[in-house]
């Protein structure tokens, strides 16, 4: 059984959250480091864009500044996400530290398996979009908004996309993070987005939409149970190392936060 580090950084602002994710990835030694599961939240709420997106093309940045909503860039790809009432996770590991996964898609399936088990513990029937796909539904379509896209391995509950997950690969290192929305906050986010797909609100969901009303601490507990069961691992709570904390602080300074 592999032991994972659990780092719960609680609520941080957008720039700090992205700096910590990047520091965890940059400091990870695929030969000697233990796998990492980080849990975190966002305060104040923020938008994050994928590493290849043009923020100004998607968002009204002036309105974001006036409303005090930070806009940050993730180290993974994908579309725009509004982070408010959610639990976010990040995983850093070496390929050898998870069950065999010969391709990137296979590793994505392995590292989202605990999300499925987590939703199942709350009585929710989660499926990949490819497994739910109604006749005639087109998959593989990308959108500037994460929750508006329908790709093969997006996770759906009752046909609605719930959260988003993205992966980045470096040499012998896997980084993956994702969002678990507690409540649906799209109505707050949409006034800042330049183009809104007409069916967005009908095609996305959050835990509260499916009748889940347990506390955040209970949700975290179920998520940890699901990870340990799915990956046959144990977790040891801890903090950022001195090197990780120092690098996160430096990244914040370099990025002007």
Active site residues: 146
CA distances from 16 to 3, 5, 72, 175, 257 (A): 26, 20, 10, 17, 8
Phi, psi torsion values for 217, nearest 5 degrees: -65, -40
Neighbours of 6 (CB within 10 A): 17
User: How many Å separate Cα 208 from the centre of its chain?
Assistant: 18
Beta bridge mates, 246: none
Say if CB 50 and CB 166 are below 8 A apart. Answer: yes
Q: Which of 19, 23, 74 is nearest to 52 (CA)?
A: 74
- Joined together, the tokens standing for residue 61 give 């940045």
- Cα–Cα dist 28/94, whole Å: 9
Say if CB 127 and CB 218 are below 8 A apart. Answer: no
């Amino acid at each position: 059984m592999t032991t994972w580090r659990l780092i719960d950084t609680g609520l941080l602002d957008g720039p700090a959250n992205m700096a910590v994710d990047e520091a965890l990835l940059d400091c990870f030694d695929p030969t000697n480091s233990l796998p990492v599961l980080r849990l975190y939240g966002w305060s104040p709420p923020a938008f994050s864009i994928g590493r290849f997106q043009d923020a100004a093309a998607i968002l009204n940045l002036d309105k974001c500044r006036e409303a005090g909503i930070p806009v940050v860039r993730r180290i993974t790809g994908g579309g725009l996400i509004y982070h408010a009432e959610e639990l976010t996770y990040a995983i850093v590991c070496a390929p050898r530290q998870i069950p065999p996964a010969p391709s990137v898609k296979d590793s994505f399936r392995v590292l989202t398996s605990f999300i499925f088990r987590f939703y199942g513990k709350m009585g929710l029937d989660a499926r990949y979009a490819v497994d739910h796909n109604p006749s005639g539904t087109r998959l593989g379509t990308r959108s500037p908004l994460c929750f508006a896209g329908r790709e093969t391995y997006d996770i759906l509950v009752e046909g609605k996309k719930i959260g988003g997950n993205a992966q980045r690969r470096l040499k012998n290192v896997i980084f993956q993070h994702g969002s678990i929305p507690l409540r649906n906050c799209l109505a707050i986010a949409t006034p800042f987005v330049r183009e809104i797909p007409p069916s967005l609100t009908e095609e996305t969901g959050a835990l509260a939409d499916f009748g889940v009303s347990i506390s955040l601490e209970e949700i975290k507990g179920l998520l940890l149970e699901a990870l340990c069961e799915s990956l046959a691992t144990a977790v040891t709570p801890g903090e950022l190392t001195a090197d990780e904390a120092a690098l996160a602080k430096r990244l914040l300074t370099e990025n002007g936060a």
